[in-house]
Amino acid sequence: MNTLLPQDALFDGNAEPWTSLPVCDHYAGIEKRMIKSLEMQAEMGPVFDVTLDAEDGAPIGGENDHIELIASIINSEANLYNRVGARVHPVTHPAFENDVRMLFKHGISRLAYLMLPKARNLDDVRNAIAFISRCADEANAPLPPLHALIETHGALHDVWSIAGLAQIQSLSFGLMDFVSAHGGAIPAQGMGAQGQFTHPLVVRAKLEIAASCHAHGKTPSHSVITEFNNADIVFAAARKACQQFGYTRMWSIHPSQIRPIVDAFKPDLVEINDACQILMLAYQNNWAPIRYKSEGQDSLHDRASYRYYWHILRRAKQTGCTLPQEVEHLFFEHQ
């Protein structure tokens, strides 16, 4: 009887290269919003991450108190799923080292990841990793997964190398700072929900980041949408980021954006059904090629397409879709 699951059978005996992260990364920098975000996460389940912001969230002069607050929240009962990360100050900022040390001192065991902002180039990311690694050694603690923001000219130039760093789990596009770095050459519309998908310089940056992440098995995380009061606009932008630009995760900056983003990243029901039937049939045939017949199609499949449908099932699972009991039991309960 076949015992190989998709993650074992479809990647030639190697570890599956893609990390499975929730499709939404929600940012909160004020204590009230941090608590509200974790309440929503408890209600919806771990379909989105919460990133507590020590960079833009900290008042000038209050950086130490703010990182202590973040560490206490990470260690609190409110962190129900251990899917809370933290954005620290840039490696060039005087508060960076204290941010990292405080997190290792108080909250590292339950920290889902560290976000590294404002890297000017590959060397900045390497320097940040080196310091965090030293802190991990001093604390006799594991190195947390690291995420990096690509928001400068130099970081975009080095994005392929940054994505290739073993410690990096995900790259995010920092739209607002990227546009501002062009000194007015990109109009304000380039930061909007529609213009950021059409301006050539912004489109180029999005595609470079997504392509480098997929080449190295990392998660590309899409930039913010500032229009938070219109769920339809948020949904449409998230859908475009997912289906046309290759992003598998997206930032939220207001609680009202979380549900539209999660919904936009859900696979279509028809595709989920196809994925379930194709993978179950492949499993029953020990992952040999199969013929799949359903309403409106008669097609042949092998491990190349099996891998595609496995990603569809994983994303369905990540976004809270209900899967058939047999599929749930066979492919997910024993992971």
Place 109 in a pLDDT band, splitting at 50, 70 and 90.
Answer: confident
From 12-21, 107-116, 136-145, 167-176, the region with the lowest mean pLDDT: 12-21
pLDDT at residue 8, rounded to an integer: 83
pLDDT at residue 334, rounded to an integer: 65
Query: Does position 288 have pLDDT exceeding 90, yes or no?
Result: yes
Contact 114, 53 (CB under 8 A): no
- If 0-12 CB within 10 Å is exposed, 13-18 middle and 19+ buried, where does residue 288 land? exposed
Does domain 24-265 sit in CATH 3.20.20.60? yes
Q: Where are the alpha helices (DSSP H) in 49-112?
A: 63-74, 96-106
Q: Are strands 290-294 and 249-252 parallel, antiparallel or unpaired?
A: unpaired
Instruction: Tell me the C-alpha distance between 176 and 226, whole Å.
Output: 10
Q: What is the mean pLDDT of residues 17-21?
A: 76
Place 20 in a pLDDT band, splitting at 50, 70 and 90.
Answer: confident
Please provide the size of the chain in residues.
335
Instruction: Tell me the C-alpha distance between 125 and 225, whole Å.
Output: 26
Query: Does position 124 have pLDDT exceeding 80, yes or no?
Result: yes
Place 335 in a pLDDT band, splitting at 50, 70 and 90.
Answer: low
pLDDT at residue 229, rounded to an integer: 86
Place 5 in a pLDDT band, splitting at 50, 70 and 90.
Answer: confident
Instruction: Tell me the C-alpha distance between 321 and 317, whole Å.
Output: 6
Percentage above 90 pLDDT, the chain: 86
pLDDT at residue 4, rounded to an integer: 81
pLDDT at residue 333, rounded to an integer: 79
Higher confidence at residue 1 or residue 159?
159
pLDDT at residue 301, rounded to an integer: 93
Instruction: Tell me the C-alpha distance between 200 and 197, whole Å.
Output: 8
Query: Does position 10 have pLDDT exceeding 90, yes or no?
Result: no
Quote the mean pLDDT of the chain: 93
Measured CA to CA in angstroms, residue 53 lies from 133, 137, 289 at distances of 21, 25, 48
pLDDT at residue 17, rounded to an integer: 65
Q: Are strands 219-222 and 297-301 parallel, antiparallel or unpaired?
A: unpaired
Query: Does position 2 have pLDDT exceeding 90, yes or no?
Result: no
Q: What is the mean pLDDT of residues 247-265?
A: 96
Percentage above 70 pLDDT, the chain: 96
Query: Does position 15 have pLDDT exceeding 70, yes or no?
Result: no
Domain ranges in the chain are: 24-265, 268-333
Place 53 in a pLDDT band, splitting at 50, 70 and 90.
Answer: very high
Three-state secondary structure call for residue 155: helix
- Residue-wise pLDDT for 161-205, tens only, equals 999 999 999 999 999 999 999 999 999 999 999 999 999 999 999
Q: What is the 3-state secondary structure (H, E, C) of 254-321?
A: CHHHHHHHHHHCCCCHHHHHHHHHHHHHHHHCCCCCEEEEECCEEEEECHHHHHHHHHHHHHHHHCCC
